[in-house]
Amino acid sequence: MIEVYPFASYSVAVMGLGKSGLATAEALRAAGAQVWAWDDSEARRAEAKARGFEPVDLMACAWNELTSLVLSPGIPHTHPKPHPVAALAKKHKVEIIGDIELLARCERHASYIGVTGTNGKSTTTALIGHILKKAGKRTQVGGNIGTPVLALDPIHDGIYVLEMSSYQLELTVSLTFDVAVLINISPDHLDRHGGMDGYIAAKKQIFHRQTTPRTAVVGVDDPHSLALHDELVRVGDQHVVAISAARRLDRGVYVEGGILYDAIRGPSEKVGDLEPIPTLPGQHNWQNAAAAYAACRTLGLDRQVILEAMASYPGLPHRQEMVAVAGGLTFVNDSKATNADAAAKALGCYDAIYWIAGGRAKEGGIAALAPLFGRIRRAYLIGESAEAFARTLPAAVSREISGTLEAAVKAAHRDALTDRVTGAVVLLSPAAASFDQFANFEARGDAFRALALALPGAAKPAAATQGGRA
């Protein structure tokens, strides 16, 4: 647990008592702070009370006694409308911060690597952490990737590798990253940021106050990220490294035909082949690998050390995770694909797909996936978006409204066994959020895994890996 000693004896409000909120409350209490904990959910308040916190209704408290409001990143404080507690904090001029801001104020001598992007940030964060640990660096990995930062072990002069969502970046005001990574930008969470400009501005915060020798690693494979890269090169004061998985670069790190090249400080040099790494399949993962390589290389790690560490990367659950095989059929859990752009990465990796999709749709639905529809043998649509997704699919794509994940898995299994297509996969890549039927994408992926393994003749893969044909 991180020691949040600067807040000893101060009264601090914690709004939102999920995993990170409870970790924040416990860290503050351990430091001797007066914790005013609250959540709109009665069940979460009860859980906090069971851990020894007496809930304080932040809608009816003495705000003049508070020094800070630590807000869960999932709670809006600007768009589309501020939560009433956030509005009260602003009215009483109480700072609104997140748990990562607390970490930054307490672990001042540590180094920080921040990773953001619309897609791929969890894989890139985990990959960087894996490489650093393999290289013998004292490293902790957390943030949006799942482990609350205040639950991490203090490492003082070590390296924190943090996945940063746009929400978390807005609540982190004083941290300057030694290496800041922006992988890509595509439309997402637009309601929370007042539109695309607000979303881009939030992502740009990862480069906040960077000066040489700090480094910005920036993807250039989409127009929004390319524009930010060019702006940093033009007006920034940090070292800027471009990364690409789509084209050759005169300067930066890029992947061409699966081969990783380093042109950070001189002529392009081949580093190694990414194709044989089963946990980094496809162009999107090559982009992640290029970003991780660039971040670690700027810290002085040897090229071969980085490449060897990449080869042993175990992958992450819910990201093209092979969870079961049955009669030559592979079941792939890509539940983390909560928008069309993320689902496109998985659809591009396989040739014969029995696709399970749907949930709570994001803006634009699945229209952007049209170039990949030819890979789909049959679609099984679930959740709130089932009818809308069915209308988007062309007549040439067979589909059924399954409604539930259980029905979809059974139907996909039946059809795939009947068709007996070599290399076929049952792919859960929903292109939608999970909240209509599941608590989160992890719960959805866990349910898919359990359903697949419960099928007749199903077994775990001999070696659980992520991904398929690159």
Catalytic residue annotation? 121, 144, 189
One-letter amino acid for residue 252 of the chain: G
Evaluate whether 318 touches 442 at the Cβ level (below 8 Å): yes
Both tokens assigned to 191: 């309601």
Evaluate whether 240 touches 428 at the Cβ level (below 8 Å): no
One-letter amino acid for residue 42 of the chain: E
Distance CA(195)–CA(389), nearest Å, equals 24
Evaluate whether 45 touches 17 at the Cβ level (below 8 Å): yes
Distance CA(185)–CA(169), nearest Å, equals 15
Cβ neighbours around 37 below 10 Å, total = 28
SS3 140: strand
Closest CA to 426 of 367, 468, 370: 468
Distance CA(216)–CA(207), nearest Å, equals 7
Both tokens assigned to 238: 């940090």
SS3 412: helix
Distance CA(307)–CA(300), nearest Å, equals 14
- What is the Cα Rg of the chain in Å? 23
Could you tell me how many residues make up the chain?
Answer: 470
Cβ neighbours around 175 below 10 Å, total = 23
Cis peptide upstream of residue 314 (ω within 30 degrees of 0): no
Both tokens assigned to 362: 């994001």
Distance CA(268)–CA(256), nearest Å, equals 12
Backbone angles phi, psi at 225, to 5 degrees: -70, -40
SS3 312: coil
Local structure of residue 466 (DSSP, 8 states): B
Distance CA(236)–CA(165), nearest Å, equals 22
